[in-house]
Structures are given as structure tokens and as C-alpha cells.
Amino acid sequence: MNKMTENSNIKYDILIVGAGFAGSVTSLILNNLGFKVCLIEKGKHPRFAIGESSTPVADLIIRNLATKYNLPWLYEFSRYGTWQKTHPEVVCGIKRGFSYYKQYPGKAFTTDEEHINELLVAASSDDVQSDTNWLRADFDAFLVDKVKEYGIDYFDQTEIVSAERNADWQFQVNQFNENIILNASFFIDATGSSKLLNQLMEIDSSSEEFLTNSFSIFSHFNQVPKWLEILQEENISTDDYPYNPDNSALHQILDEGWIWMLRFNDNRLSFGFVLDDTNEFYKNLPTEKIWNDLLDKYPSVKRIIKDCELSTVPGKIVRSERLQRKLKQSYGEGWVALPHTIGFVDPLFSSGIAHSLAGIEKIIDIISKDWENKTLLDLDLKEYQNAVFEELKITDNLVAGCYKTMPYFGLFNAWSMLYFAATIAHEQRRIKKEIPGYFLNADDKAIREMVQTSYADLLKIIENKQPTEDDIKSFAELIRERIKPYNIAGLLDPSSKNMYRHTVAKIE
């Protein structure tokens, strides 16, 4: 607990609000670049948070930031092996890839030798090189400790009340019921919410432009049975699996949406339903009823979670509002917002961490080179805004297509390959040391058009009719042809039987 009274006369170069991992990493980098930084946090660490699944792109960016800005300890968190070797006390989990299992109403999970109701996409070659699931309470708190260790002014339990800008910013903040003035030249919103900018500058946030319409209900649980063990008990063969699905971002695909299952090394499981709310069916239903009705509807899912106890934190089932949101404006004179503050689509493809890190990468570059030139700063922040808006748009398109296909797993399988193709293209761009450009290669016109055209084709198949086997086969062939320029992993190769071992990004 830090009191800030003695800091009221200090003028900071940059004030950052929000001490999640993004705000802390941004503070640490700017401090190393010589800026006088202050980080403030409304709550207190450790605190519960979701957004826990990392990806190869996130790992690439972590390594780049750690090397470029002299944070060698951060580099160690880019792979499971080095994380466990150096900081086993910071809880995480192995994430070998993305796993999907189609559940049908009223039926226990079944599949066949062709893995007709399964899809496993590897993202690493072994456990040591694996991505990770972050226990955010631990990792975020670790980073805040690093902020303090580097001598950066950090104040928790502190809330911005108002802001006024003349030559610089003057923030009225409240800490322990005491109002204090903080002065700064520049302000970065890393809160991960639209509320602060609406409060300070009346900048609105909207979900109107999104194709996706979803909400989530979730919590953490202890001692949850392993999905692999349940498969084995049902005599479902896993001999040709590329990895243990419990060591992955494990998804159960429902007709109404999907479930995430992310495991940590302390026998904790992050478990949540994310549900399509386009018809507002769930709007007036109590959270507990939705939860129990879905478990009753999907017996294999109920078998996983029915007798498990809630973890102490958060100790309850949490229900979100609609997940989709986007600010009308994400920068202005003397301020900018990080991507998760600007907007969000849906956690289906675990894109949140990587998108936040990509935004940090851009903003740090802009501030470091344009700090003395307000004209260039404004121009580059405008381009940053354009980038994030385009990134949200392509993510929305890709996720919306998945929701359209969830009742029909063959279509879901084919459609999801557009995301993996875009991801591979972006990974290759970074591995080749090219300019990173937009997240998911959203600045690649060919990729944007591929996704948009495929979405229109998908709607023709599913609107007003039940897709036939021929429809699904034709669509898969169409997607296979379209992703050819980016498909170095054999995606949609029939001989793979929905088991992909070779999408691995080779990171030195």
C-alpha cells in the first residue's frame, strides 16, 4: 500500500491507469526508456482476472519486448519450460495448442476413427517449448512487484475522479478518501474497460458494429477430472493425438456457444460458458438456471464439472455483460488507450493477450520516436487507432463465423481454418523479422477479402436450411483452396483426420 500525498507536486511524463499485465509491462518499458512514469490501480493485487490463454504470437512479442527494452526476466515467461525453470512460484499451465470437441444435446460425447467430432491443432512441439495459460492473479501481481522493484511510482486503491488538460494533464485522484492532484504530460488508459474514458471525456463505447453477440458465465474450480481420462474411460482412442488435450486451450463446442477449460499447475481449472445471445434467449434467465440447464443438456460436460468445488477466488459463478464493445475514439491530444480498453470481441481464439501485447509494441514505438514532435505523434496515433479497429473487425468476422457453424461441426472445422491461416501468416511475418503490421495480418487486403468472401459464402449455406454433407464437403474444399497461400501446416488435409502436429512456430 503506497500513499501518494508526497507525490502531488511531481510532474510525470506519462501516467498509466490500470495495473493488469498490459499496464505494468508498458510502465516497465517506458521507465527503461527514461520516461518518468506513474502507474495507478483502482483495486489491489493479487486480484482475480480472466484472459488467461497465451499464444505463439504473444510469445514472439514478449521475446521481442524483453530483448529490445532490456527486460531479460520477461523473456523467461515466453515458454513453459523457461517459466518453470525460473519462476515456478508464479502459477501457470501448459498450453500445447487448441482443442475442440463437439457436444450434442442429450448425448454423451462420441467420435470415430476419423475424429469426426474432434479438432486438435498443435502450437508447440513439446512441453518445454509450449505456450502457457497464465494464472492472472499470480502473473499480474508478479509484474506489479517488478514495477515497484524498478522504482516506478505505483499507487493502488486509487481512483481518478476527474481530468483537465491545459498544457499538460491535471488529474484529481482519490486514495483512501483523500483527494490529490497528479500532473502528467501524457496519459495511457490500460484499464481494459471503456468506463474511465467515458467518465473523463464522454467517449462512448458501442457494440453496434459487431457481428458477434455473446456473453459468458465462468469461474475457477478445484480438482476437476481430466478430459483425457473421461475419453479413455469411454474407450475413445487418443493414440494419434498430437498432445494431451488437458494441456491445451480445451474447448467444448455446443449448439448455443462453447466452453473454455484452461488448467493450471495447482490443480485449478478456469471453466466458462460463452453463449450466443443473438436471440436474447438468456436475457431474463438467472445465471444459476442457465448454468444448470446447460449441464443437464450436455451430459459429458456435466460429468466434468458437476461435483467440483469452486476455488476460493472468485468463489462464485460470474456473469458478464455482452462481451463485444468498441470505443468511438481511442486516442487524442495527450492520451491513448491500449487495445483491450479500445475494444473486445470474444475469447474463442485466445487472442486477447497477444492483441494487448501487439498494442503495447506499437504504442511504445510511437512514443519513443515521436515524443518531441506532436504532429507526428498525432499522425501515428491515428494510424494506431486504424490498426486496432481493423484488427477488431477481422477478429469479429472470424469469431462470428464460428458461432454460425457451432451446430455443424464439419462447417466449424472448415471455417476455423481461416483463423489458423491468418495466424500462421502473422507468425511467419514476425519470424522473418518483417515489420509486424496489423495483428492477424488485418492489413493484408487478400486475407481480409478471403475472410469476408468466405463469410458471405457461409451465410448462403446455413441461412434457411440444414447444411447437407455435400454442402459441408464443398465448403471445406473452398476454404482449403483459399488458404493455400498461407497454409504451411497441411490444414484441411483429409489425411490429417483433424489432428494437426505441424502448425508449430519455430521460435529461436
Could you tell me how far CA 485 lies from the centroid of its own chain?
Answer: 26
Rounded Cα distance between 494 and 477, Å, is 10
Distances from the Cα of 449 to the Cαs of 342, 352, 393, 476, in angstroms? 24, 23, 12, 17
pLDDT computed for residue 5 by the predictor: 57
Using pLDDT thresholds of 50, 70 and 90, give the confidence band for residue 1: very low
Rounded Cα distance between 188 and 13, Å, is 11
Average model confidence (pLDDT) across the chain = 95
In terms of phi and psi (left: phi > 0; alpha: psi -120 to 50; beta: otherwise), the region of 89 is alpha
Name the pTM for this structure.
0.95
Residue 169: CB atoms within 10 A of its CB come to 22
Rounded Cα distance between 57 and 43, Å, is 29
Residue listed under C-alpha cell 508478479: 142
Rounded Cα distance between 60 and 78, Å, is 7
Whether the per-residue pLDDT at 483 is higher than 50: the answer is yes
Which fold, 93-133+214-319? D-Amino Acid Oxidase; Chain A, domain 2 (3.30.9)
Nearest residue to 49 (alpha-carbon basis) of 146, 190, 246: 190
Whether the per-residue pLDDT at 133 is higher than 60: the answer is yes
Using pLDDT thresholds of 50, 70 and 90, give the confidence band for residue 279: confident
pLDDT computed for residue 437 by the predictor: 94
Rounded Cα distance between 345 and 325, Å, is 7
Which fold, 5-84+135-207+329-374? FAD/NAD(P)-binding domain (3.50.50)
Instruction: Summarize the confidence of residues 249-259 as an average pLDDT.
Output: 97
Whether the per-residue pLDDT at 7 is higher than 80: the answer is no
DSSP code at position 455: H
Rounded Cα distance between 398 and 454, Å, is 10
Whether the per-residue pLDDT at 420 is higher than 50: the answer is yes
Q: Which three cell numbers stand for residue 325?
A: 464493445
Question: pLDDT by residue (tens digit) across 134-171?
Answer: 999 999 999 999 999 999 999 999 999 999 999 899 99
Helix (H, G, I), strand (E, B) or coil at 105: coil
Which positions ≥6 away from 318 have C-beta within 8 Å?
A: 217, 218, 219
Instruction: Summarize the confidence of residues 46-54 as an average pLDDT.
Output: 96
Rounded Cα distance between 131 and 244, Å, is 14
Torsion sign across C-alpha atoms 76, 46, 357, 454: positive
What are the backbone angles phi and psi of residue 259, rounded to the nearest 5°? -125, 135
Using pLDDT thresholds of 50, 70 and 90, give the confidence band for residue 2: low
Helix (H, G, I), strand (E, B) or coil at 376: helix
DSSP code at position 362: H
Using pLDDT thresholds of 50, 70 and 90, give the confidence band for residue 281: confident
Domain coordinates in residue numbering, the chain? 5-84+135-207+329-374, 93-133+214-319, 407-500
Cα atoms in the Cβ-side hemisphere of radius 13 Å centred on 486: 23
Nearest residue to 159 (alpha-carbon basis) of 333, 310, 19, 359: 19
Question: pLDDT by residue (tens digit) across 490-506?
Answer: 999 999 999 998 665 55
